[in-house]
Structure 1
Amino acid sequence: MADAGESTTDRKQKIDRYIGDLAAADSKNAVLQAIDNLLAVSAPVGSPSTLDAIARRYKSQADDAADVQQRVEKVAASGLPSVWVGSTGAKAAEVVGAAGRSAEQMAEAFRKASKALYDLSDALTSAQSKDGDGREQLRKARTMLGGGDGFFDDMVETDDEEADRKRAQEIAGTGSNFLYYAAQEADDAARAAARDLNKFAAEARAGQMHTDNISAADRLVLADTGVYGGPQEQNELLTANDLERSGRFMEKMNAQDQARFERMLADAKTPQERAYLVKALAAGYDVDEVGQFRDKIHGKDPYWLQQHLSPVVTAGDSKVDEGLNDDRSNKNTDYQWFGDKKWSQNGETCVPSSTVTARAMVDPVYALELTGGPSGQENDPEAFRDRLDDEQMRLHEEGDGSYAHWWSDVPTGMDSDGQNEIANSEISPHTGSSYEFQEVRGADERRDVLPDIEKSVAEGKPVPFEVEGYDEEGRHGHQMMVIGQEGDMLQIYNPWGTTTWISEDDFVNGHMDKASDHRMPDAYAVHIPADR
């Protein structure tokens, strides 16, 4: 019976190993053993008809959502009363606009989910057919060979017996290749479906916020709010994780704190200000601390808020393939600035720098400490750069980073224990997920970890990873962060102060130089967020 718990990668690796055994077999019994091992590997599991039925249902729901979108847009076009506001200050126009965009996104998500399931069904049908053909060939080869030889029979093989064995071996080889192709097809399709469905689930954003303390309309507007400076759909201010955590924290508030927090939201001057207050709550700050943060940002315009509270903005053309530079890095690379200073490392502090920026992405209170200083009102890039350098060195010490000499103050990197330690001390408290270190030195290992990476970043949890390469100068190593995902593309933050997009294949097959340079093509370790 097929083992549904066995991963598609495990099946593929077993088949690959047994194909090698079959090719190397030089006796009848060895061929029979290899065939039996191949037949024992489970076939691709799943029901294409069930997947088709779910896909049809999603297609119908996409049509329903599109109908809702059209009706909402008619309401928006007909004019809205300006006097109505939600319980936290969301105006009618904001709510209706958010509802229209939410319905549009829902329709798109259902359509894409339907397509993902149809694609999976087609691939599974094809894989199961190939697998069946392969097993038929293997059984044919086994029948040709008959029973196994006894001890003495196996010691001597006649010319005729050798010819029979080789014919059976050839037929079994054809069958085993069919099994491998089937496993590969099922593996690729399962990963693509998991990636897309995880992304669509995370994008059901307003539904992540489980609280009755604010209205459904207000939750819709919060989920729809984008960071200033880029396309809204690529720069959602509140992640799925932010919405889930903030809703949970609101439910735990006493009546007094609930009233105070709702008043802060209602008094916010812009949707962005309101959303940053929710993000601060999600980052783990209590109502008093959120109130202090609110006093520093109240009334600021969306551009000021972005500059001081969101280190990374994704440009609308950031995924356009513009080719490679001479050092094999992507030409289409965006710098991330505060004024005229980059969010970048100083010296060999890639790990602390990645960690600082990742924390600033999930913790706006911390981001403001770096950009706005103690008062939160500064707008001085030079002072920001000084604070950023100091913070990088603090984390370098915290992670027991190395130095050029024992008396030196020049950092030269950090080992994996230190990397994981500072990720857990600096990022985890503000996302609720601890980091687990995992080596991924082979293509299959990197392919295996992709669904976990993509699920994490879809939820709003940055994923640190390490790259390396070797040349005549020796080993080169670096840490970067996966911070976004769209389809089969991953958005990478490089602590040189840049962001760019690479493909899943780039990550798997040693082309991470596109996000750095020719010296460091291979991802070899990741730090995966795991629920506490």
Structure 2
Amino acid sequence: MLRRWTAIVRRRAVVSMLLLSLPGHGIGPDLQLESQLPNVAAHSPAARAAKRLDDASPADRARVDATLAAAGPDERPYLIEALAAGHSAEDVVTFARLIRGKRPEWLRTHLSLIDPDGPGRVTYRGSPVRQADDTACGPMTILMARAMTDPLYALNFTTTGSADPSDASVAQFQARLTAEEHRIHDATNRFWPERLGSTPAGVGNELNRHADALGARYEPHVVTGIGGKSGLRDAVDAADSAQPVPVLIGDRIPRHYILLIGRDAADLLVYDPARARVSRISEQSFLDGKLDALRFRHVFAVITPSP
């Protein structure tokens, strides 16, 4: 647990320092981290937040810069992520007031539904964060992908209201989670029967409705035939850049979605919405399209962010 928490703090500190180092946002020393970590910087919340600040009015830019400068080191990365996700200057300022003075553990458990830095159970106040029914794995991967990239979206589930930072009860949390899964399922299955799950195209289309918040548009790729290896490599590259990737797996036929969320040393990390668990898998096994460790033998499709 200590190692995982240290990794979370380190990752979010890098996000914060990256923004401080980007030109035009000098609320800290010029750390030049974007040149040292080009793959992170290209898709990082910091780079996207800096672009949004550049496009903002002078008044909004000044308000956000002042808010970031006044925020504590544990709070600032979440504010950067909120800005990167497309929230307005007013929303970011309000969000900053809401989380001011919160302990790091509160921030982690309320502003990100999943821990992308190590394997383990995924819970809220001890209650498993899993799909609502056997056909909701696709919608759940979409929900978790959004929660990983937008702390205000995650906050909708974990508190009693955007203006009230008190904890949602387990019953409130699960009710909101289920309602959002059903909403997403309806959106991804306009023509495909919901009892058959979600198609990769439907998952991609729903992700693309939130492309600004996610930082990229997503495209489905079938990986079982000729040329499929490139799609698997694209998925790994996205995970290395902290971009979540829905993955369709199965045996003889496609059966289940998981979410590729990052890596732990040489292994990849995946969230399984049926088990409410983050697990390690071998990168080579994934690139070979084989996932025996997750009870299914094959990868059928990936929905990856565009470069």
Larger radius of gyration: 1
Which structure 1 residue ranges, 5 or more long, are not aligned?
A: 1-97, 103-202, 222-235, 319-332, 405-410
How far 1:342 moved relative to its partner?
2.2
In the alignment, structure 1 residue 383 sits paired with structure 2 residue 162: no
**Which of 464, 467, 471 pairs up with 2:249?**
467
Give, in angstroms, the shift of residue 499 of structure 1.
Answer: 0.8
**TM-score, normalising length: structure 2:** 0.82
Contact 1:465/1:523 (<8 A) preserved: yes
The whole-number CA distance in structure 1 between the counterparts of 2:57 and 2:193 is 49
Residues 25-76 of structure 1 deviation map (CA, whole Å, 9 limit, x = unaligned): xxxxxxxxxxxxxxxxxxxxxxxxxxxxxxxxxxxxxxxxxxxxxxxxxxxx
Task: Quote the residue 1:508 is aligned against.
Answer: 287
Shift of 1:340: 1.5
Match of residue 234, structure 2, among 445, 452, 465: 452
Higher strand share: 2
State the TM-score, normalizing by the size of structure 1. Answer: 0.49
Residue 360, structure 1, aligned to residue 147, structure 2: yes
2:21 touches 2:29 (CA, 8 Å); kept in 1? no
Counterpart of 1:351 (choices 135, 138, 151) is 138
SS in 1 for 2:95: helix
Over aligned residues, Cα RMSD in angstroms? Answer: 3.0
Partner of 1:250: 53
User: How does 1:387-398 map onto structure 2 within 5 Å?
Assistant: 387-398=176-187
Q: Which amino acid aligns with 1:424?
A: N
Corresponding residue to 1:522 among 273, 298, 303: 298
Give the conservation status (yes or no) of the 8 Å contact 2:290–2:298.
yes
Q: Please tell me whether the aligned partners of residues 239 and 460 of structure 1 are also in contact (alpha carbons under 8 angstroms).
A: no
Q: Is the 8 A contact 1:506 1:512 kept in 2?
A: yes
Mapped partners of 1:465, 1:208: distance in 2: 34
Structure with more of its chain in helix, by fraction: 1
Higher RCO structure, 1 or 2 (CA under 8 Å, sep 6+): 2
Q: What is the alpha-carbon distance in structure 2 between the residues aligned to residue 377 and residue 432 of structure 1?
A: 27
- Aligned residues, how many? 285
Aligned to 1:419: 203
Partner of residue 499 from structure 1, selected from 278, 292, 297: 278
Q: 1:306 and 1:335, CA in 2 relative to 1: closer, same or farther beyond 3 A? A: same
Change (3 A) 1:356 1:506: same
Render the CA deviation track for 1:376-431: whole Å, top value 9, x for unaligned: 42312221111000000000001116557xxxxxx4411232122112124x2213
Aligned mates of 1:506, 1:434 — CA distance in 2: 26
Q: CA 1:220 to 1:343, structure 2 compared with 1: closer, same or farther past 3 Å?
A: farther
Match of 1:210 among 10, 17, 22: 22
> What's the % identity of the aligned pairs?
27
Structure 1 letter corresponding to 2:48: R
> Is 2:217 the counterpart of 1:429?
no
Q: In 2 relative to 1, CA 211–249 (structure 1 residues): closer, same or farther, beyond 3 Å?
A: farther
How far, CA to CA, are the matches of 1:252 and 1:509 in structure 2?
A: 43
What amino acid is the match of 1:210? L
Q: Distance in 2 between matches of 1:399 and 1:450?
A: 23
